[in-house]
Structure 1
Amino acid sequence: MSEKVARSEELFRHAVELMPGGVNSPVRAFRAVGLTPRFIARGEGAYLYDVDGNRYLDYVLSWGPLIAGHAHPHVVRAVREVLERGTSFGAPTEEEVLLAEEIVRRVPSVEMVRMVNSGTEATMSAVRLARAATGRRRIVKFVGCYHGHADPFLVQAGSGVATLSLPDSPGVPGETAGLTLTAPFNDLAAVEELFRRFGEEIAAVIVEPVAGNMGVVPPVPGFLEGLRRLTREAGALLIFDEVMTGFRVHAASAQGLYGVEPDLTTMGKVIGGGLPVGAYGGRRELLELVAPAGPVYQAGTLSGNPLAMAAGRATLELLDAEAYAYLDRLSARLAEAYREVFARHGVPICVQRVGSMLTPFLAECPVRNFEDARRQDLALFRHLFREMLAEGIYLPASAFEAHFLSLAHTEDDVERTREALERALPRALAQRKREADGSASS
């Protein structure tokens, strides 16, 4: 495929004069892969079309929300019906009640839910609630897990922070950062040590039950169960950040897949069907501490926006047992395609998958934590991304992110990806070798 990029380059040059780095979210800048970001004109099914007329098979899917694919007719119809009646009212609507009812029905640990506008809003609100409920200040998070850009979470975060090699963020007061304790993901002994030292001060442990912002890293057996035990014994709360995994990996989210119920759950992405959304929920006695039922204040002008509520509910209506089985089969085929192609070329790869999200780490298996993820061949990733984009395959522009599949993807799409990998990998290896030889000679 021969890409045309003139219009994207023109737009990006203009964008950098108007927005920091030319984007409204860092990973979109393509800086880690040394390219100009592609400006997207539209999406349809499993495909994206950019402003230069290029078509790409999309494994980003707006970073996860579009589990039904782009512009699914059922979702579009639901949004259009609401849109014709208005966009926002700053007042309750039936749509938010219906979506809340569906979330509560599907996730046993969630008895009540509060809608917000983003995953960051959801996680920061859940932590505030946990601190209020316990009367404690400290939280525990895991190195490489990303819970949004609120101050307490930008301590050893993954995702775009890792992609851009940024340190813990300037602008976060030391006093705030000092209340966040960290441990390696999947290291229960490290968490036990934190509770031994600070147990009476810890309000909550917040964790991605399947890490997705260092790449897809599943929990090792006993890890989530151990967190549940430790928090209960210490009188702390367990928060599952399911912004990425919520209704993506299982009908009842990751907690349903692994059989571990947290005290609080945060959600986003899928429950908005591609529109801005977030939510936090949990046991009734905890949520009734939130204003106006209780004293913990949190508010939002567009919270429960009827367009997002309609899109989310329409998306969930498509996610029955058959849909999840299809996504699981297709994702397994894509994972196997990566393994087979890399094996034929003698290149190490560790493809880790949970449901319809996966990451092909360019490293030896297993990848259990952020340190393992950082050991992958980032130079090869950069070249492989570029070559796959030239083949018309749109992958995450970061080695620390997940691929996502949708109901719109087909077996033919996976086979097309396999064929693209067969062509792209040798070129990427050659590019990396030339780069390494050039560095050595200089």
Structure 2
Amino acid sequence: MSISTMLALGGPAIIGHADDEVLEALAETMKKGTSFGSPCLLESVLAEMVISAVPSIEMVRFVNSGTEACMGVLRLARTFTGREKIIKFEGCYHGHADPFLVKAGSGVATLGLPDSPGVPKATTSGTLTAPYNDIAAVESLFNSNEGEIAAIILEPAVGNSGFITPKPDFLEAIRRLTKENGALLIFDEVMAGFRLSYGGAQEYFGITPDLTTLGKVIGGGLPVGAYGGRREIMEMVAPAGPMYQAGTLSGNPLAMTAGIQTLKRLKAPGTYEYLDRITRELVQGILNAGKKTGHAICGGHIRGMFGFFFTEGPVHNFDDAKKSDAAKFVRFYQGMLREGVYFAPSQFEAGFTSLAHSPEDIQKTVAAAENVLSKI
């Protein structure tokens, strides 16, 4: 395992890049065809695995990406509630569909763009925003838009403003507010799904949303996404219901095969304990190295997802994250790259470890970090 794979953007390589078992299964599947344009048995196998794992999902629809999943789930929430407005959180990224490119994080934040050119004002007029971890702001939005909000969509653990965890009562309060106001709660688990636990962030935090989006991990690194939730909501999707969404390449047999093999590995005993152990050692090592060499630094992790900021912290939302020394992060990133360690080239991206990383990889990374931090 090369240490240069320390961070995979979006975290799809949770069992490592080019895993032998996945490649062998893909080779067998390719003999039967690479795309059918219609449902295949592999979709049913992976669907059953997802439904059995994720608490909120009783029915699931596969698509080709996380962006498609969020597009579909937004349309579904509006169809089910008969309302148009949504609440998203500043710095949270839900793909590049027009309604979500309002105060988005990830690459938009890195480039310093408040929104994206080419997005008509009309498509974002129903998108309301609040700071992450700010319940009072969400309550205010419900009060000023009474009976108009279809759903709240959020990353239960943020990965697109850097890695930010929810305050102890935040998710529980969001769940209560949506129920009280007749709105749906959507967890965007494109990053967190099958990474914080086998049942995702909702299993880890013990909060069950109405709908969930997934991606990346469930395709073993191949292009895939999915959305699912309560049966009564999902039955609104065609052909069972009136909401149209389709895709010729959705449920691609190669992506389904890679996803099946990946989830089998993740379900093995000790998987998430191992990810937690190595990630804790990595993050604590980097934080200790930063403090030892005189840098303001803070950070944390959950299982195989982590992040750190060059600021004293704490970091509870995107505004807090923007206080981080981005110029210093660039020097750190470049220095680590020269050491053979690849982090995402943005302060506003979470980091990910994999089952392929060894304790020795982690130790070498921490040592490299201390060396780089002592020079910047």
Q: TM-score, normalised by structure 1?
A: 0.84
Q: Number of aligned pairs?
A: 375
- AA partner of residue 248 (structure 1): R
- AA partner of residue 419 (structure 1): A
Q: By how many angstroms is 1:57 displaced?
A: 2.1
Q: Give the match for residue 367 of structure 2.
A: 419
Q: Does 1:146 align with 2:93?
A: yes
Q: Give the match for residue 373 of structure 1.
A: 321
SS in 2 for 1:382: helix
Q: Give the match for residue 333 of structure 1.
A: 281
Q: Give the match for residue 331 of structure 2.
A: 383
- AA partner of residue 413 (structure 1): D
Of 120, 128, 131 in structure 1, the residue corresponding to residue 67 of structure 2 is 120
Q: By how many angstroms is 1:62 displaced?
A: 4.2
Cα RMSD between the aligned structures?
A: 0.9
Alignment of 1:263-412 (within 5 A): 263-319=210-266, 320-412=268-360
Alpha-carbon distance in structure 2 between the residues aligned to 1:295 and 1:63:
32
- AA partner of residue 198 (structure 2): A
Q: Give the match for residue 159 of structure 2.
A: 212
Q: Is the 8 A contact 1:367 1:373 kept in 2?
A: yes
Alpha-carbon distance in structure 2 between the residues aligned to 1:212 and 1:167:
18
Alpha-carbon distance in structure 2 between the residues aligned to 1:396 and 1:64:
11
Alpha-carbon distance in structure 2 between the residues aligned to 1:313 and 1:328:
23
Of 84, 95, 114 in structure 2, the residue corresponding to residue 137 of structure 1 is 84
Q: Give the match for residue 24 of structure 2.
A: 77
Of 182, 196, 209 in structure 1, the residue corresponding to residue 129 of structure 2 is 182
Q: Give the match for residue 225 of structure 1.
A: 172
Percent identity over the alignment is 56
Q: By how many angstroms is 1:58 displaced?
A: 1.6
Q: By how many angstroms is 1:321 displaced?
A: 3.4
Q: By how many angstroms is 1:60 displaced?
A: 2.2
Divergent runs of 4+, >4 A:
none
Q: By how many angstroms is 1:107 displaced?
A: 1.1
Structure 1 residues 35-70: Cα deviation after superposition (integer angstroms, max 9, x where no partner): xxxxxxxxxx4x2xxxxxxxx522222430000001
Q: TM-score, normalised by structure 2?
A: 0.98
- AA partner of residue 343 (structure 2): L
- AA partner of residue 324 (structure 2): Q
Larger-Rg structure = 1
SS in 2 for 1:318: helix
Alpha-carbon distance in structure 2 between the residues aligned to 1:195 and 1:168:
23
SS in 2 for 1:218: coil
Q: Is the 8 A contact 2:12 2:221 kept in 1?
A: yes
Alpha-carbon distance in structure 2 between the residues aligned to 1:391 and 1:68:
23
Q: Give the match for residue 116 of structure 2.
A: 169
Structure 1 residues 207-231: Cα deviation after superposition (integer angstroms, max 9, x where no partner): 0000000011011011111111111
- AA partner of residue 330 (structure 2): R
SS in 2 for 1:245: coil
Structure 2, unaligned runs of 5 or more: none
SS in 2 for 1:291: coil
- AA partner of residue 30 (structure 2): L
SS in 1 for 2:282: helix
